[in-house]
Amino acid sequence: MNVVYLDNYAATPLHPKVKEAMHRIVDEVFGNPSSDHRFGQAAAEALDTARKQTANLLGSEAEEIVFTSGGTESVNHAIKGVAFSQREKGRHIITTNIEHKSVLNCLRTLRLLDYQITSLDVDQYGLVDPAAVEKAITDQTVLITIQLANNEIGTIQPIAEIAKIARQKKVVFHTDAVAAAGIIPIDVKALDVDLLSLAANQFNGPNGVGALYVKRGTPLWPLLEGGVQENRKRAGTENVVGIVGLGMAAEMAWLEGHERLEKFRTLRRKLIDGLKARIPNLKFNGHPTQVLPHLVSVSVEFIEGEGLMLLLDEEGICVATRSACASGSLRASHVLIGTGMDFALAQGTLLITFGRDNTEAEVDRLLEVMPRVVQTLRDMSPIYQKSVAR
């Protein structure tokens, strides 16, 4: 059986160039980048190259890139780092109610430390109103943290507009771009954000490595303390192999960006049109146009997404019901509930994400199998039977 992998938000296969770069480092570069001898210098040069590659993907300066262990650490570093460095100015932070768990749980911890959190509502498409952000700002506000694009429904937020407000009010602005970086073009100078988080495994890099863009002059308390690594912003011996993988993944995302975008848009449109034609009572989530091109969130009425996912897996098709970081929970997605969806429909949601290796033939396979699986589950659903009987 040929397996169809459509869970590329959880993790992506390594790009061949990434594998090649990481293998070379494993074989040839084992020194500590902080060492002054030739082995340390070779490792430091590898980090410098990766830093430039990552900066190029974002349109930043190399010195503004801090390497981390992944998106979660980048988010925590940004939020806690600003909160702790600005605690004398104020203890108020603004966010939305559909952020990733790494943001929400980080803010929950800060509440225990007497920080005040304002969590803004979004509309039915998952968009936050910049006017609501501006209205929420007080003289105690030290940080605004809002996703560039949502990881479950794909809605892209008006980040540049919000950043302009933050700049006028002299408030630090962080955007979680883990779902977007390497997928859509990002220019941190055009967005005018102070901090931006990303993770390598979203764009064919390795798991367990990420980066935090820190605009020059942004106040930031170190999350990890110890040595002077990462320009004194993140202590600890760097994961050279992983970082080299991140750098090469960033370079390939930049080089192949246009080609990937066109493929994603083609596959997404084919899937949405195909599902609409084959399965009744579906709801597609997220903004109709301001949305990530590689992501489809679809809610299937009368059934549970968990059962649908498991039956698709038996057919050799791998999809998700929500973000991998929230999988295992029996609760409906907080993102979908935040857009006003009812609990029952939210429970019937699938998250399908494409990668650079996916093909139209794989979409055809999903379109062949999914209607049959949906009907099997609906035939067992008393709610569906009552609906049909009306």
Catalytic residue IDs:
325
Side-chain-facing half-sphere of 371: CA atoms under 13 Å: 14
Side-chain-facing half-sphere of 286: CA atoms under 13 Å: 26
Residue 25 structure tokens: 């480092």
d(CA 359, CA 264): 10
Ordered alpha helix ranges (H), the chain: 16-28, 38-58, 71-85, 101-112, 130-136, 159-169, 188-191, 229-232, 240-255, 257-278, 305-314, 334-338, 343-346, 360-379, 382-389
d(CA 155, CA 18): 29
d(CA 270, CA 267): 5
d(CA 104, CA 115): 13
Pairing of strands 116-120, 210-214: unpaired
What CA–CA distances, in Å, run from 253 to 30, 184, 247, 257, 357? 26, 9, 10, 5, 13
Which amino acid, 367? L
User: What phi and psi, each to the nearest 5 degrees, are found at residue 16?
Assistant: -55, -35
d(CA 75, CA 34): 25
**Which residues partner with 66 through β-bridges?**
212
